[in-house]
Amino acid sequence: MTATSGARAAELDAADPLGEYVERFVPGDDLVAYLDGNSLGRPLQRTLETLPDVVRTQWGGRLIRAWDEVWLTQAERLGDRIGAACLGAASGQTIVAESTTVLIFKLLRAAIAARPGRDELVILRDEFPTDRYIVDRLAEDHGLSVRWVDAPRDGGVTPDLAASVVGDRTIAALFSGVAYRSAWWADMPAVTGVVQRAGALMVWDCSHAVGSVPLEFDAWGVDMAVGCSYKYLNGGPGAPAWAYVAARHQGELRNPIPGWLGAQAPFAMTEPYAPAEGIRRLISGTHPILGMVALSDMLDEIESAGIDAIRAKSVLLTEFALSLVEELIPDATLASPREEARRGSHLTIDHPNAARAVESLWAEGVIPDFRHPSGVRLGLSPLSTSFAEVERGIRALTRALA
């Protein structure tokens, strides 16, 4: 690593309008560089205080009364905040509920019920494993076919690829807004339009998009979407996910896992199930209140910084990282888009020594991610990552790969 790159990192940090946010996160034990924020976001310093405070004052102090006073509407309130700050979604369309896995299952199963007479689901062959597993199982259980889409290794779904597979048999397409491996940011409004013109429903997995790229679900006419909250939303391990269902679809939404909190009258214990009005009908069981604390804290920071400023820093971080990789690791192969408009907030490079390098780096306090068979993924969470940290991490990665 040259002195010039270190100086450039210092210049970028000095000019960073979001630089003050970096110090708001827990620094980590023996941490040299954390380059895996798209797998698990770092906790905020303030969560070290807010989480025990909720335990002490709400759970311990108010006990069961806290449900009536605060908790019953928490899933909807946090959903509305995610919608406004990150998704371009008006209130009443986003809710925080179970895991990403459970919510994907529920949305796709609801889509199957909403499109009788159709018998195909569409998904990328290299989609995140959970998404593929759910599509496979639903197809098996309901006698459906799966149309597998092949995308370039450094890319993802495009309008042309979508148009080549959707048709009058398609129930729904499930694609990632930002691909988990390559960071390909799909042209989401265009792909949505292609799928909808075939009479099908578009379901987006935005786990790697939410909080890192600006989304405009209402303006783009998105049908449904889901995403986790422990990556760029920094909700912590096992934090509940969120789901978006456009208001126009909520009346026909049939929750395949009906539960008491999603019922019209949750405390009328003897009544048959009748779904609640609006997005609340998507809830099944009791939502995890403690798992929402860190997410709420992070939404304060996102609302303060603004998603456009977060995206601007993300672009600078990935551009800086890409320039260093090209300079210092010329034998690596870029497996992410070069075009910034099509790239999320991480980079993947392929190198034959990737697995051994990542294992050794973790022991040194440098934390990138390994993706089988030969990928090193560099996840650069804009609010918690400095340019100097990127420089240190890629310098160490250069040594480890060699």
Distance CA 30, CA 76 (A): 38
Nearest to 287 by CA among 307, 306, 314, 262: 262
The catalytic position among 131, 205, 223, 369 is 205
Is residue 25 flagged as an active site residue? no
Strand, coil or helix: 147: strand
User: Apex CA 238: angle with CA 232 and CA 244, to 5°?
Assistant: 60
Distance CA 390, CA 402 (A): 18
The catalytic position among 25, 105, 217, 230 is 230
The catalytic position among 377, 387, 392, 395 is 377
Distance CA 387, CA 16 (A): 9
The catalytic position among 21, 105, 128, 180 is 128
- 42 vs 96, 229, 381, CA distance in Å? 20, 12, 9
Is residue 128 flagged as an active site residue? yes
Please return the burial class of 119, using the count of CB atoms within 10 Å of its CB with bins 0-12, 13-18 and 19+: middle
Is residue 197 flagged as an active site residue? no
The catalytic position among 42, 106, 109, 231 is 231
Q: Are 260 and 307 in contact (CB under 8 A)?
A: no
Non-local (6+) Cβ contacts of 200 within 8 A are 115, 118, 122, 166, 170, 171, 172, 173
Per the listing, tokens 């907030």 go with 345
Is residue 205 flagged as an active site residue? yes
Is residue 21 flagged as an active site residue? no
Active site (catalytic) residues? 128, 205, 230-231, 377
